[in-house]
Amino acid sequence: MTYECEGCGEIFETLSLFRLHDCPDSATNDDNVRSLDELLDSEVLEQFQRSRRRDRRRRAERLTSDDLDAAIARAQDGDAGAAVTAIAYLERDLNTARKRHSGDTFRDIFWGYYEKTVEAVDTVARAEGWPFLLDLAIAYDHREENELSQVTGVVANVLARGVVRTRLTDGVAAIPADALGYLDTIPQYDTDRFEIAWEESQHCGWGIGHPEEPIAEIILNQIHREDSWVGGAALDALYADQKAAVSLYCSVLRTSDERVFAADQLSRLEGEPPWDLFPRGWDIRAEFTREFTFIFDEDVKRQLRTTIEDVGLADDLPEEWTFEDLELRWG
């Protein structure tokens, strides 16, 4: 289970990390909001999160035009033009909020509409396929504009879903190289202001082994400027095709300043996969009937273990250590 901070949108994999989070959103410090210590019961916490999401949606709806909701509704019915229009309206409203209102207003609109816009656009993408998605990428191409937009994260999410779907159904070679190129170039831009675009772009790792786009090389080329991004993208690659990606992951363990976190990721990979291996908000199990649990290949495990020992990450571990022993402990 994961926990979302409704103040700033950050996701935490454990309740402990969620409780220790110092949210910059002043709303979380309001006297009327129960302290997180009172939310230890998971059912109460879920109710609290649902209530916060409802409140945010209501505020977002008050801050945006009816045109946005109408376009989303038409896109949900399969109208491709409405899907593009919905993204344009969302971008307009976000830009207005950024210029004229507070950061709280921006966050309310973004988090109030991010997933519902993605779901509506993805409904069209599933019906129209790659021609629609690639046209969308052209319309919001950060490489042409030389900057990311407020809706790059939306476009990156639906493109990433297309990448994952195609790999699972038709194989990696069927993924358009332009889709991977859109995702894997996002970290070259100002991702400090566009964290969600940064997050969604990590799913380029699903393109490992592509015949045209050298994903492993592209990921490693970011190692000295985007260590955290590299670790996430490499983990996606390892999950997608562990034999093709093991050399990449070993390189990350050897050269990244974030190698401790890269090792920590291995502790949580086997079994049910972490939520962040897939685009945000996508219930992939509702779409696919296949099994998504992960089991390490023995040769892959051996290569990873050897690398971990070579770089000294196993020095303080038990003699018969396992990947579970690599988990970082916070307090």
Tens of pLDDT, residue by residue over 87-135, are 999 999 899 888 876 678 888 889 889 999 999 999 999 999 999 999 9
Q: What tens digit of pLDDT does each residue of 311-331 get?
A: 999 999 999 999 999 998 754
The tokens describing 253, both together, are: 């363990």
Least confident stretch, 12-16, 71-75, 161-165, 169-173: 12-16
pLDDT digits (tens, 9 = 90+) for 57-71: 666 565 566 889 999
pLDDT tens digit string along 162-172?
999 999 999 99
* pTM given for the model: 0.82
**pLDDT band at 31, cuts 50/70/90?**
very low
Domain locations along the chain = 1-60
Q: pLDDT grade, residue 4 (50/70/90)?
A: low
Calpha distance 32→235 (Å, rounded) = 40
Confidence of residue 137 (pLDDT cuts 50, 70, 90): very high
Q: How many Å apart are CA 293 and CA 47, to the nearest integer?
A: 28
Is residue 16 scored above 50 in pLDDT?
A: no
Rounded Cα distance between 35 and 55, Å, is 18
| Token output for 174 | 């069927």
What is the arithmetic mean of pLDDT over 143-147?
Answer: 93
CA distance 220 to 230: 7
Average pLDDT over residues 189-194: 79
Q: What is the pLDDT of residue 190?
A: 76
Determine the pLDDT at residue 14: 47
Which of the two residues, 117 and 3, has the higher pLDDT score? 117
Q: What's the confidence (pLDDT) of residue 269? A: 95
Residue 19: pLDDT over 60: no
- At residue 33, the pLDDT reads 41
Q: What is the pLDDT of residue 330?
A: 59
CB 280 within 8 A of CB 157: yes
At residue 278 the predicted structure's pLDDT band, cuts being 50, 70 and 90, is very high
Asked if residue 24 has pLDDT above 70, the reply is no
Question: What pLDDT does residue 315 have?
Answer: 95
Question: pLDDT grade, residue 280 (50/70/90)?
Answer: very high
pLDDT of residue 84: 95
Tally Cβ neighbours within 10 Å of residue 323.
19
Q: Give the mean pLDDT of 185-200.
A: 89
